[in-house]
Structure 1
């Protein structure tokens, strides 16, 4: 379980929040603090106040992978094979272990045909899936996707949906404007003005948001 206690960071103020194993969608209007919450959970940002623990361990001592909202920010190397292999190489894995891990993750995401491509020749959607493969190649405990789906087509979005199956990754956290995608998650966190207004199963959160008259859920969602 991911636990957040007395968190204060920029607009975000979360006295207490628990995130179960599985896929969790973070939704909310522009400026509600979605990206900040993800950064705190991933350990990219140390909160001004409070603590985050992932199965009892701080985020920076946990294997966490992050994929940003802009495709080109995720790409460092000139070929897809080198890009996907880079986390394994940085970790000192053998050539055999690295090649095996690359083949497995690319096969799983259906991009083995891209392995010998130059990354600069990829479309935005292809870069997104390559970034996803790179994030997953070392089997992280937690995968965080920051508005990752904003530039992807339906076929590529299916790759994300498959990640929501059991045993794909222990924790998948993502913020999205796509309510259909959010509805597939195991849990939804709805933020407004940096505070958690609702948290739980998708159907329960959607019902609560509608019943209590919070800002419209579908139009104008996005941003940090």
Structure 2
């Protein structure tokens, strides 16, 4: 379980929050603190106050992978093969172990044909999937996606979501404006002004949002997407 206690970081103020294993969607209006919450859970940001523990361990002592909301921010190397292999090489894995891991994750995500491409020639969607492969190649305990779905079409996104679920990832956290995607998660966290106004199973959270009158303010459902 991911546990947050007395968190104070920028707009986010969370006295206590527990996140179970599985897929958790973080939703809310722009400026509500979604990315800040994810950064705290990833260990990218140390909160001004409070603690975060993942199964009793601080995030920076865990294998946590992050995929940015901007495709170009995820890319460091000139070729797809080098990009996906980089976490394994940084960790000191052998050439054989690295190549095997790269082939396996790219085969699972259906991007083996991109391995010899230059990253600068990729489309935004292709860069997104390559970033995901890079994040998954070392089988992280926690995978965090910051509006990763913003530059993927629905069909690609649906296929990738199905592939992530049975992987070794213990916790998948993602923020999204896509309510259809959020409804498929195991847990939903609804933020407003940095505070958790609802957390739990998707149906229960969406019902609470409607009951308390937040829906007209923030969510207009059209084709499964929040606009």
| TM bracket (short chain) | over 0.9
After TM superposition, the structure 1 = structure 2 runs for residues 52-201 of structure 1, keeping only pairs within 5 Å, are: 52-163=52-163, 165-201=165-201
CA distance in 2, matches of 1:78, 1:138: 20
CA contact (8 A) 1:179 1:218 kept: no
Match of 1:211 in 2: 211
CA distance in 2, matches of 1:59, 1:25: 19
- How far off its partner does 1:153 sit? 1.2
Structure 1 window deviating more from structure 2 (213-222 vs 179-188): it is 213-222
CA distance in 1, matches of 2:226, 2:195: 16
Secondary structure at the counterpart of residue 105 of structure 1: helix
CA contact (8 A) 1:164 1:185 kept: no
Match of 2:12 in 1: 12
Structure 1 residues 201 and 162: alpha-carbon distance in aligned structure 2, compared to 1, 3 A threshold: same
RMSD between superposed Cα atoms in Å: 1.5
CA distance in 1, matches of 2:88, 2:76: 14
CA contact (8 A) 1:177 1:218 kept: no
CA distance in 2, matches of 1:113, 1:22: 30
TM-score (norm 1): 0.95
Structure 1 window deviating more from structure 2 (187-196 vs 161-170): it is 161-170
CA contact (8 A) 1:12 1:194 kept: yes
CA contact (8 A) 1:22 1:166 kept: no
- How far off its partner does 1:164 sit? 5.0
TM-score (norm 2): 0.94
Task: Report the number of matched residues.
Answer: 222
CA contact (8 A) 2:219 2:226 kept: yes
Runs of 4+ in 1 over 2 A off after TM superposition: 163-168, 215-222
Structure possessing the higher relative contact order (Cα contacts under 8 Å, 6 or more residues apart) = 1
Structure 2 residues without counterparts, runs of 5 or longer = none
CA distance in 2, matches of 1:122, 1:68: 16
